[in-house]
Structure 1
């Protein structure tokens, strides 16, 4: 009976470990059946070695860590130091949970030896220690969200504690009134409570991820529509340039005719019109890099409609081509966020300062004023848009792209000025 108890509770732990790893690490591309085989090998090897041979405490860590590191190496992408840290953390939390249960049991007059000899207490100790460990792992996962999303919600903490703590009270009440009666029923009830804990954990985060995915998909759709408008505007600009070249040829003939006739006032009138037309076009980016210039000049034309100036200091080689098109989205998002913030400021303050440098790396510094209070949650900036589903998606996409290239992102605000500095490595490729 004790073996059955161990196998069921360890199966619960296995599913929690898999969920934690799936949400923490990026998956390697492996055959569909490989994850099942790898996790089964881990489950079988660690439990057989630990319980069949009754290993001493000091030997349990390598027995757990080595197969677990193998699982992380085969199925997930991460550096060795992080894998080792996660393996150590999970093991230590398990030991801590068992220690807490043993200490509380000793305070109530039940020694560890008694728990090992009594099947009823053995089941109770196992279930309680697994639930406490479950709370510890879920707490770690919620705290991890602080670095990956806009912040931690109150419902996250409710999910962490409500179901497991309620389960602990239910299990204690089940075991309390009876000493030896209905043991099979208690075993089934305890296992079902573990399943309920696992199901609610999985369901909660699945729903949360689906909600975020829907909001992100909507945001990306809006981005695509924005870029479609941008391409249309660029097409119109090139059409205007084509017409301008044609008109220039005609004007040259007309100017030549006026020179021959001595009508210099007419020539002056033509050049004045050309000067006005040229100055009316928003063209702040003149690096010679067509993609970069088109993106920045388009955003500058939008800013100009709101009376916003963009002061640009950019050095970008004409043949620089970003390896990932998402980097253009990164620059576009930064400018969109800055324009959105500056719109609400006084007219005399509507200036965005932007500095760009590229070699094989990308350096961007942007500074803009803002009005009112910036909304932050757990150290992460939130959008001021009325649509609550889009909280921080623009900055999150910027942060995700920077993390993808193992770059650096620094965001500061003081004196009603918002400043973003980012450095991304190895982002260019040879021009085709």
Structure 2
């Protein structure tokens, strides 16, 4: 292996480690919020008992509305059947929502995957990060990411679609051109390498107004 290739591999590995660390930090932050809400559960119950004892039905109703809003910010929105996929998807959905990006997700993984958690994290994390970055170029009301995951026979199918700033992207080799930094390119290289190593199929398609990435990973 040439010095240049070794340097590239080293930088890709460094990017991968940074990516995984970021994902786990996002997951940990989400779980901290959930633990915080649970910690306050008894206090919430006590407060409603006080309001009930005072006959303050309006106060109870208002308090319940506030709790409902608070719970929606920490509740797990996706349950695929795979713990790692749940962790990554929910942390990324939370991140997207904090940036005024609407996410439509339909994800089901009813079987045990033979793909490693590390590889799954890299693939889903890169797809979501790319979609979030592209969505930020649009006005808040136009920011939409669509995620679909399910089994197609013995293959795991993953599809990510995000809307773009109204122009078709140009391909440079196997990938599309980007205005993002160097790390973004390493992320794509790493993801493509994982799909190739697993004997999978990857397709990227840029049509006016939308960008879609589709992946098939054999699981049989």
TM-score, normalising length from structure 1?
0.45
Residue number in structure 2 paired with 1:207: 3
Q: How does 1:25-64 map to 2 (within 5 A)?
A: none
Q: How many residues align?
A: 217
1:365 aligns with 2:146: no
Q: What is the TM-score with the length of structure 2 in the denominator?
A: 0.82
Aligned to 2:122: 329
**Which residue does the alignment assign to 2:19?**
223
Name the structure 1 match of 2:32. Answer: 236
More strand by share: 2
Which protein shows a greater Rg? 1
Inter-partner Cα distance in structure 1 for 2:123 and 2:96: 17
Change (3 A) 1:287 1:214: closer
The match for 2:175 is 380
Q: Any conservation in 1 of the 2:107–2:148 contact (CA below 8 Å)?
A: yes
Deviation, structure 1 residue 292: 2.2
Say which of 263, 270, 289 aligns to 2:63: 270
Alignment match, 2:201:
408
Q: What are the within-5 Å matches in structure 2 for residues 283-362 of structure 1?
A: 283-287=76-80, 289-317=82-110, 320=112, 323-325=115-117, 326-358=119-151, 361-362=155-156
Greater RCO (Cα-Cα under 8 Å, separation 6 or more):
2
Across the aligned residues of Structure 1 and Structure 2, the Cα RMSD in angstroms comes to 2.8
CA distance in 2, matches of 1:279, 1:242: 13
Q: 1:328 to 1:302 in 2, by over 3 A?
A: same
Q: Secondary structure at the match of 1:392?
A: helix
> Aligned pair in 2 of structure 1 residues 235, 276: CA closer, same or farther (>3 Å)?
closer
User: C-alpha distance in 2, partners of 1:214/1:240?
Assistant: 39
Residues 271 and 234 of structure 1: CA distance in aligned 2, closer, same or farther (over 3 Å) = closer
For 2:190 and 2:80, how far apart are their aligned partners in 1? 26
How much does 1:321 deviate?
5.5
Matched residue SS, 2:138: coil
Is the 2:113–2:219 contact (alpha carbons within 8 Å) kept by the matching residues of 1?
Answer: no
Deviations 1:135-161 (CA, angstroms, capped at 9, x unpaired): xxxxxxxxxxxxxxxxxxxxxxxxxxx
- 3-state secondary structure, aligned to 2:4: helix
The C-alpha deviation readout for 1:343-396, integer Å capped at 9, x for no partner, is 112333210111111486311111112235534223433443233xx4632222
User: How does 1:119-138 map onto structure 2 within 5 Å?
Assistant: none
